[in-house]
């Protein structure tokens, strides 16, 4: 990158050299005014010039040492990964202004990260609450009204003259399709199985649904038993699996996917792998991927998306440190709405 300014080092060094030269010249004029008229350079003048040059060089060297941490800070600041905000300046000590600046910068990053985590959490919680509300509304209002229409149509069907029979049947089918859609959308919005049955079964149900509705053959490797997990961890793992499988179904051109969940003492790992096209070389993360990342950040988990070590396709891997999620709360199950 080209600079539009003269670097600090050059400016300070130039000013210092100028001042030094002026001071030496002034000194010479004051101490030995007659010598100025002598144009020939004698030994004394050479010594003075050499001394000035030496002092300027030492000055540049010292200045460079002072300014180097600032330059390092600039390089670091340019390289910060704003998607994770995970990096910190190593070895920052409050022993100089540059050190203080580095410390302040680290604090700023940490605060930014905290605030982002908090606001992401707020947004995601609001989103989940809104999804629940819409799912309930769909079920309690639209679904019930369609049921009432269906009941009314049944009465019409039993009384309608035979020439209308076919029409009434067609309308009945349309209403039933509508009801089925309402039900499907409500389930997508709010994974009831998660509330009812917990993570492992909800993932199994999810895998089944992808197989049935989208023809994506999902082979699952899910352990029978998991340690009790906080509800928000279950929800994040479920949503990441849902999003990753949706991506496979939409973009990978693969007809099968693996859904793996494993757990040891200190971490839970979710892997969704397909055998399709893989990521395009210069793909930009879409909203789905950003959403997965935001959710992962929220529970202190890491998310990696890339090609698997062997074979082709794409792999999404979520790692949740179990200690970081806090002590598993007493499983107060959310009331499921039907």
The C-alpha atoms of residue 269 and residue 291 are separated, in whole angstroms, by: 18
- Indicate whether 168 belongs to the interface with other proteins (CB under 8 A): no
Q: Distances in Å between the alpha carbon of 94 and those of 64, 77, 98, 292?
A: 19, 18, 8, 38
Q: Which of 85, 92, 124, 153 binds other proteins (CB under 8 A)?
A: 153
Q: Which two tokens stand for residue 125?
A: 């919680």
Q: Which of 161, 280, 281, 327 binds other proteins (CB under 8 A)?
A: 161
Return the number of the residue (59 or 200) whose C-beta is nearest other proteins.
200
**Closest distance to other proteins from the beta carbon of 151 (Å):** 3
Q: Is 162 a binder of other proteins (CB under 8 A)?
A: yes
Q: In three state form, how does the secondary structure of 285-337 look? A: CCHHHHHHHHHHHHCCCEEEEECCCCCCCCEEEEEEECHHHCCCCCCCCCCCC
| Tally of CB atoms within 10 A around 21 | 15
Shortest Cβ distance from residue 255 to other proteins (Å)? 22
Nearest to 9 by CA among 60, 69, 70: 60
Distance of CA 227 to the CA centre of its chain: 26
Residue 183 as a binder of other proteins (CB under 8 A): the answer is yes
Residue 247's CB: how many other CB atoms inside 10 A?
22
The smaller minimum CB distance to other proteins, of residues 158 and 287, is found at 158
According to CB under 8 A, which residues from 42 to 71 bind other proteins?
Answer: none
Is position 148 an interface residue for other proteins (rule: CB under 8 A)?
A: yes
**C-alpha distance from residue 177 to each of 168, 174, 241, 338 (Å):** 14, 5, 27, 19
Nearest distance, CB of residue 240 and other proteins, angstroms = 21
118 binds other proteins (CB under 8 A): no
* Cβ at position 176, least distance to other proteins in Å: 5
Determine which residue in the list 13, 89, 139, 305 makes contact with other proteins, applying CB under 8 A.
139
Please state the closest distance from residue 202 (CB atom) to other proteins, in A: 9
- Which tokens go with 141? 């209002």
Interface residues toward other proteins, by CB under 8 A: 139-140, 143-145, 147-155, 157-164, 172, 176, 179-180, 183, 192-193, 195-198, 200-201, 204, 224-225, 332-338
């Amino acid at each position: 990158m080209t600079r539009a300014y003269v670097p600090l080092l050059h400016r300070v060094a130039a000013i210092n050299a100028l001042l030094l030269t002026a001071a030496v010249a002034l000194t010479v004029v004051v101490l030995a005014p007659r010598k100025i008229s002598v144009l020939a350079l004698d030994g004394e003048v050479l010594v003075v010039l050499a001394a000035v040059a030496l002092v300027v060089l030492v000055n540049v060297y010292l200045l460079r040492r002072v300014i180097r941490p600032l330059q390092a800070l600039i390089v670091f600041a340019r390289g910060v990964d704003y998607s994770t905000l995970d990096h910190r300046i190593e070895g920052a000590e409050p022993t100089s202004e540059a050190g203080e600046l580095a410390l302040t910068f680290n604090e700023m990053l940490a605060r930014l990260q905290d605030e982002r985590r908090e606001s992401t959490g707020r947004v995601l919680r609001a989103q989940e609450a809104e999804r629940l509300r819409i799912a309930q509304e769909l079920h309690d209002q639209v679904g019930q009204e369609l049921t009432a229409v269906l009941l009314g149509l049944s009465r019409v069907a039993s009384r309608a003259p035979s020439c209308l029979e076919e029409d009434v049947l067609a309308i009945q089918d349309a209403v039933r399709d509508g009801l089925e859609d309402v039900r499907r959308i409500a389930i997508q919005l709010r994974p009831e199985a998660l509330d009812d049955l917990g993570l492992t079964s909800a993932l199994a149900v999810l895998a089944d649904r992808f197989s049935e509705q989208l023809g994506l053959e999902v082979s699952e490797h899910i352990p029978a038993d998991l340690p009790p997990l906080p509800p928000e961890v279950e929800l994040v793992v479920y949503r990441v699996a849902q999003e990753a499988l949706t991506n496979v179904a939409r973009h990978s051109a693969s007809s099968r996917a693996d859904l793996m969940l494993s757990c040891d003492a200190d971490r839970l790992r979710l892997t969704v792998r397909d055998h399709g096209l893989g990521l395009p070389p210069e793909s930009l993360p879409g909203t789905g991927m950003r959403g997965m990342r935001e959710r992962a950040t929220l529970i202190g988990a890491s998310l990696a998306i890339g090609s698997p070590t062997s074979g082709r396709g794409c792999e999404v891997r979520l790692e949740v440190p179990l200690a970081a999620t806090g002590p598993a709360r007493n499983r107060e199950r959310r009331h499921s709405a039907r």
